[in-house]
Amino acid sequence: MRKIEHIGIAVKSLNESNLLFEKLFGKPPYKQEVVESEGVKTSFFMNGPNKIELLEATNLESPIAKFIEKKGEGIHHIAFDVEDIYKEINRLKDEGFVVLNEIPKKGADNKLVAFLHPKGTNGVLIELCQEIA
């Protein structure tokens, strides 16, 4: 696992939060994207070397809708950049982590992604992501 690739924040309204984070960072998101399979609409901000992903649910079954219902808005996941996501999934499985999707899926921002169950990681949802070449 390499550097933190981004931090994901669950929000109720992407439009409102885009304006808020635009004020915070002094610039607009560089990208907005819907990931239909995940039931999310996302936007991405770069601030220096750091990337922030905002996530809004597109339907009530979305993991983001469920997260906000349970915990409210806030930090939803931390994503780590990995060189070889398949290798990393196998390594973490061997270490006893519960991988939510053992077959990486296409996430936002041109990434292959997999998630670790937060029950095994002190309550923090961990995303592994590998840039699609």
The residue sitting closest to Zn ion, measured at its beta carbon, is 8
Output 3 or 96, the one with its CB closest to Zn ion. 3
Q: Cα–Cα distance between 86 and 113 in angstroms, integer?
A: 10
Q: Of 127, 128, 122, nearest to 87 (Cα)?
A: 128
Output 46 or 96, the one with its CB closest to Zn ion. 46
Residue 79 CB, nearest approach to Zn ion (Å): 4
Residue 53 CB, nearest approach to Zn ion (Å): 5
Residues near Zn ion (CB under 5 A) are 8, 53, 79, 127
Residue 98 CB, nearest approach to Zn ion (Å): 18
For the chain, where are the alpha helices, taking DSSP H only? 14-25, 63-71, 85-94
Residue 18 CB, nearest approach to Zn ion (Å): 16
Q: Cα–Cα distance between 43 and 10 in angstroms, integer?
A: 11
Output 96 or 131, the one with its CB closest to Zn ion. 131
Q: Of 130, 106, 133, 102, nearest to 116 (Cα)?
A: 102
DSSP for residue 102:
S
Output 8 or 104, the one with its CB closest to Zn ion. 8
